[in-house]
C-alpha cells in the first residue's frame, strides 16, 4: 500500500480541463462555485485544472453532452496544451463517453468516476476496498470501450486506478463474475458487522454526518481522543470509524462517516453500506456544517436530501456549525472593507454575526444549534454538554428504570 502511494505521488501531475453545462436557471455565481468544487475534487485526485468550459443549455446534448461547437473549442485547447483529461461536472451516459472519446482521443472523466477514484485512493480497510471495487466494476460494466482499455494500459493515472487494467481489458462476463465474487465477500463483511452491532446493542449510538471536508473527523478526534485521518481534501474519510465516548458517566458510540457531496448518485453511496448503516442505525445524528463555506446552506440541503435518500431523514439531529474561527475571520475582513467603503459598487455584503445566525437557525429548526471551532476548540464544552444531554435523554427513554 505505502509503496503504491509513493509511486503515485512521484508521478508528474496530470492536467485537466473542466466542463459544466448549467441550466438557464443556475446563476453564474453558482456555476463558478460548483466548478470550484469540481476543481477541488480534481486536485484531491491529483490533477491540475488548466481551464474551465461552460455552456448554458436547457438540457445537455444527448450525443456529446456539450454542443458540437463547444466540443471543437475544448478539443482545440486540449490539443494545444497536451491536456491529459476532460472532466465533466455531471455523469455521462456510456454512449456520451464513447462519442466524446472518439472525438477527443483523451481520457474522459465524469463526476462519479472522479469520486470513485478518490474513494479508491482513500479506502483503508479491506471492507472499504471491496466496496469501492464493487462500485467501480458496476460503473465500468456498461462502459467497457476499446479506447478506454487502450488508454488505461498506456497512461494509468486518474480514472484508471480502478479495478486493475488487466481486468478491464477482458470481456464483460469476467467483470460480472468479479462483481458476484465481491458481492459474496461483502456479504461476509456484513455478517461480521451484524455480529459487532449485536455486541453493541443497548448503547446509544451517535453518528457524525455532513458534507465532505466540514470537519467531522477533526471533531471525532476531539470528542473521542482518537486519531482519525483528517485533511483539507475532499473525502479524507471513506471507512466508518466507531469509538466509545463517555461524557459525565453517560457512554455512547460515536461514528465518523463518509462525507456527502452534491450530485453523488445514491447507488454509488449505497455501495458504502457499512458506513450508511452507521447512519441508519444511529439514535442521534450530529450534522456538522462548515459555516465558513460560501455555500454552506446548499450543503445543508444536500445532506438533508441524501439523508432522505437513505431513509434517515426522520432521526433527531443536532446541528453543529463548525469553523467559526474562519467565519469570524472572513466577517472581520468584510467589515473592514465595508468601513473603508471598498465594496460600495460590488454586491459583496457582510455576513451576519454568529448571534444572528444562531437565532435564525434555532428558529428554523426549533432546536439548539451549536457554533464551534474544532481546530481552535471554541465552544467545545458547550457542545459536549448538549451532546451529553441529548444522549442521556435517549438513554433514559430507552431504560426508564436505569437512572
Ligand X SMILES: Nc1nc2c(ncn2[C@@H]2O[C@H](COP(=O)(O)OP(=O)(O)OP(=O)(O)O)[C@@H](O)[C@H]2O)c(=O)[nH]1
CB-wise, 38 or 374, nearer to ligand X? 374
Interaction partner, residue 390 (Mg ion, ligand X, none; CB < 5-8 Å by kind): none
Contact 403, 396 (CB under 8 A): yes
Phi, psi of 253 (to 5 degrees): -100, 130
Q: Does 236 bind Mg ion (CB under 5 A)?
A: yes
Q: Select the span of 97-105, 227-235, 244-252, 334-342 touching ligand X (CB under 6 A).
A: 227-235
Give the shortest CB-268-to-ligand X separation in angstroms. 15
Report the relative pairing of strands 284-290 and 241-247 from DSSP bridges.
unpaired
23/9 Cα distance (integer angstroms)? 37
Q: Select the span of 188-196, 270-278, 299-307, 317-325 touching ligand X (CB under 6 A).
A: 317-325
Nearest alpha-carbon partner for 326 in 302, 295, 290: 290
Exposure b/e, 69-96, CB count within 10 A at least 16 = b: ebbeebbeebeeeebbbbbbbbbbeeeb
HSE (side-chain half, CA atoms, 13 Å) at 217: 20
Contact 241, 220 (CB under 8 A): yes
Q: Does 217 bind Mg ion (CB under 5 A)?
A: yes
Among 237, 241, 274, 312, binds Mg ion (CB under 5 A): 237
Strand order of the β-sheet with 205-210 is 241-247, 250-256, 205-210, 284-290, 317-322, 369-371
Q: Does 235 bind ligand X (CB under 6 A)?
A: yes
Question: Cell match 463517555: residue?
Answer: 246
Give the shortest CB-301-to-ligand X separation in angstroms. 17
8/146 Cα distance (integer angstroms)? 25
CB-wise, 85 or 115, nearer to ligand X? 115
Q: Select the span of 53-61, 126-134, 177-185, 230-238 touching ligand X (CB under 6 A).
A: 230-238
Contact 322, 379 (CB under 8 A): no
Give the number of residues in contact with ligand X, rule: CB under 6 A: 23
Residues numbered 34-73 forming contacts with ligand X, rule: CB under 6 A: none
Question: Cell match 472525438: residue?
Answer: 103
Q: Does 306 bind Mg ion (CB under 5 A)?
A: no
Site string for ligand X, 324-343 (x = CB under 6 A): -xx-----------------
Give the shortest CB-288-to-ligand X separation in angstroms. 6
First to last CA, the chain: 49
Give the shortest CB-143-to-ligand X separation in angstroms. 26
Give the three cell numbers for residue 126: 479491506
Q: Does 121 bind ligand X (CB under 6 A)?
A: no
Give the shortest CB-259-to-Mg ion separation in angstroms. 6
Interaction partner, residue 312 (Mg ion, ligand X, none; CB < 5-8 Å by kind): none
Phi, psi of 23 (to 5 degrees): -75, 170
Give the shortest CB-217-to-Mg ion separation in angstroms. 3
Site string for ligand X, 191-220 (x = CB under 6 A): -------------------x-xxxxxxx--
Question: Cell match 476532460: residue?
Answer: 86
Q: Does 322 bind ligand X (CB under 6 A)?
A: yes
Give the shortest CB-212-to-Mg ion separation in angstroms. 8
Interacting residues toward Mg ion by CB under 5 A: 216-217, 236-237
Interacting residues toward ligand X by CB under 6 A: 210, 212-218, 230-232, 234-237, 259, 322-323, 325-326, 373-375
Amino acid at each position: 500500500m505505502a509503496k503504491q502511494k509513493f509511486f503515485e505521488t512521484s508521478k508528474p501531475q496530470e492536467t485537466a480541463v473542466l466542463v459544466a453545462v448549467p441550466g438557464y436557471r443556475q446563476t453564474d455565481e453558482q456555476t463558478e462555485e460548483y466548478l470550484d468544487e469540481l476543481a477541488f475534487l480534481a486536485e484531491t485526485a491529483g490533477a491540475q485544472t488548466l481551464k474551465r468550459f461552460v455552456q448554458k443549455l436547457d438540457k445537455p446534448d444527448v450525443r456529446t453532452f456539450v454542443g458540437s461547437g463547444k466540443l471543437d473549442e475544448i478539443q482545440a485547447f486540449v490539443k494545444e496544451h497536451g491536456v491529459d483529461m476532460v472532466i465533466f461536472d455531471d455523469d455521462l451516459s456510456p454512449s456520451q463517453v464513447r462519442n466524446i472519446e472518439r472525438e477527443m482521443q483523451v481520457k474522459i472523466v465524469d463526476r462519479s468516476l472522479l469520486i470513485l477514484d478518490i474513494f479508491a485512493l482513500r479506502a483503508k480497510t479491506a471492507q472499504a476496498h471491496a466496496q469501492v471495487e464493487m462500485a467501480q466494476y458496476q460503473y465500468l460494466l456498461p462502459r467497457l470501450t476499446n479506447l478506454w482499455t487502450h488508454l488505461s494500459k498506456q497512461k494509468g493515472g486518474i480514472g484508471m486506478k480502478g479495478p486493475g487494467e488487466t481486468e478491464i481489458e477482458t470481456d464483460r462476463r469476467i467483470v460480472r463474475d468479479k462483481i458476484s465474487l465481491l458481492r459474496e465477500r461483502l456479504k461476509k463483511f456484513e455478517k461480521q458487522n451484524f455480529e459487532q452491532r449485536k455486541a453493541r446493542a443497548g448503547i446509544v449510538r451517535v453518528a457524525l454526518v455532513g458534507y465532505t471536508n466540514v470537519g467531522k473527523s477533526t471533531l471525532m478526534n476531539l470528542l473521542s481522543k482518537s486519531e482519525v485521518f483528517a485533511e483539507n481534501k475532499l473525502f479524507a474519510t471513506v471507512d466508518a470509524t466507531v469509538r466509545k465516548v463517555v461524557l459525565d458517566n453517560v457512554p455512547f458510540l460515536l461514528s465518523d462517516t463518509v462525507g456527502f457531496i452534491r450530485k453523488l448518485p445514491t447507488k454509488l453511496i449505497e455501495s458504502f453500506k457499512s458506513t450508511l448503516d452507521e447512519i441508519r442505525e444511529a439514535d442521534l445524528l450530529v450534522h456538522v456544517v462548515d459555516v465558513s463555506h460560501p455555500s454552506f446552506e446548499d450543503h445543508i440541503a444536500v445532506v438533508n436530501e441524501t439523508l432522505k435518500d437513505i431513509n434517515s431523514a426522520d432521526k433527531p439531529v443536532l446541528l453543529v456549525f463548525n469553523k467559526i474561527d474562519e467565519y469570524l475571520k472572513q466577517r472581520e475582513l468584510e467589515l473592514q472593507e465595508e468601513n473603508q467603503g471598498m465594496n460600495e459598487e460590488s454586491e459583496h455584503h457582510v455576513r451576519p454575526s454568529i448571534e444572528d445566525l444562531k437565532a435564525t437557525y434555532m428558529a428554523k429548526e426549533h432546536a439548539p444549534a451549536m457554533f464551534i471551532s474544532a481546530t481552535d476548540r471554541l465552544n467545545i464544552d458547550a457542545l459536549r454538554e448538549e451532546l451529553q444531554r441529548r444522549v442521556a435523554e435517549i438513554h433514559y427513554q430507552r431504560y426508564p428504570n436505569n437512572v
